[in-house]
Structure 1
Amino acid sequence: MVPVPRTAARLLTAVAALAAVATLAGCTSAPGRPLEDYAGEPKGVEAPASSAGGASWVAWLDDGAKVAIVLYGSSSCPPKVANISATAADSIKATLAPAPGGICTRDYVPHTTVFTTPESIGKTGEVNVVLPDSTLTLPARQG
């Protein structure tokens, strides 16, 4: 067995410690990742009139602790939001998940993705949710 110099041994120990921390961090839910993802509209929330005809919309859930983003598309290949991030106190950027491959049905139904509201989002004014092809507006939070 070849002796390992002290500096290399310390480096190996540090790398092992960082790997352990990264592994443990993977056990918690990452900020901006979906809490829930399901077919249909959010439970207990009435769709706004502007969503008639299948327009995307957003809503506060749990007194503003969560944000639900509703997108419309195929039930077999639903559009999904992969993550969100606050870009300002009044703006959230939503990144869509890649479209699944394969054949999709030609129906047009709602699909909801729910996120924890980013901590830096203000509570007193409207909040814009910026999607790649549109911007949706949340009213000032209640609660």
Structure 2
Amino acid sequence: MHSSLTLRRAGLAAVAVASVFLLSACNPSPRAIENFDGLPVSDHEGDADGHTDEGDATEGLSAAWVGQGGQIAITISGSSTCPVVGTRINVVDAAADGNRVSVDVAERPADEVCTMDFVPHTTVFWTPVFVTTTQPLIVEVGDQSFTLPIK
């Protein structure tokens, strides 16, 4: 009886460990996967693939679905020598609760000398598993926000 109980517990522990590995494999990293100067390339020729006129363009924030919605490109305009670079995407509200993410940006030294131009810089993230492309997605960066339309 004791041997059977031990085997059952070992089996349950193995299933629990396997489940953790499977779930972590399905949940993409919240870290940036790509950074580059400029705007994201469209998935469709002649189509901005997710860019929308929503939000105030003078704020310098936009977002686009990339790779059929598997990735999100966040574009923030600022100095070309000191670009605003996204580092991590965080689910603030899951799809059922509002479909909202926030993006952390890299800290810059306070004494850094930057040019006074205004150019786009794009950071690409995997789309988090707890948000959906079938609802508008609110993207927040600092005190700015942008609503990405349904894919």
Q: Does the pair score TM above 0.5? A: yes
Superposition deviation, residue 85 in structure 1? 1.3
> Which structure's residues are more often helix, by fraction?
2
Superposition deviation, residue 61 in structure 1? 0.2
1:128 correspondence with 2:138 = yes
CA shift in 2, pair 1:64/1:75, >3 Å? same
Q: Deviation string for 1:62-116 (max 9, x for gaps)? A: 0100000000111000011111011222111111110245211111100000000
Superposition deviation, residue 55 in structure 1? 2.5
CA RMSD of aligned residues (A): 1.9
The total of aligned residue pairs comes to 112
* Counterparts of 2:131 and 2:83, CA distance in 1: 27
Mind listing any 5+ residue stretches in structure 1 that lack a counterpart? 1-29
Mind listing any 5+ residue stretches in structure 2 that lack a counterpart? 1-27
Equivalent residue number for residue 40 of structure 1: 38
1:65 correspondence with 2:70 = yes
When normalised by structure 1's length, the TM-score is 0.70
* Counterparts of 2:125 and 2:138, CA distance in 1: 15
Report the 3-state secondary structure (helix = DSSP H, G, I; strand = E; otherwise coil) of the residue aligned with 1:43: coil
* Counterparts of 2:113 and 2:61, CA distance in 1: 23
The correspondence of residues 80-99 of structure 1 with structure 2, limited to 5 A, is: 80-87=85-92, 88-89=94-95, 90-99=99-108
How many percent of aligned residue pairs carry the same amino acid? 34
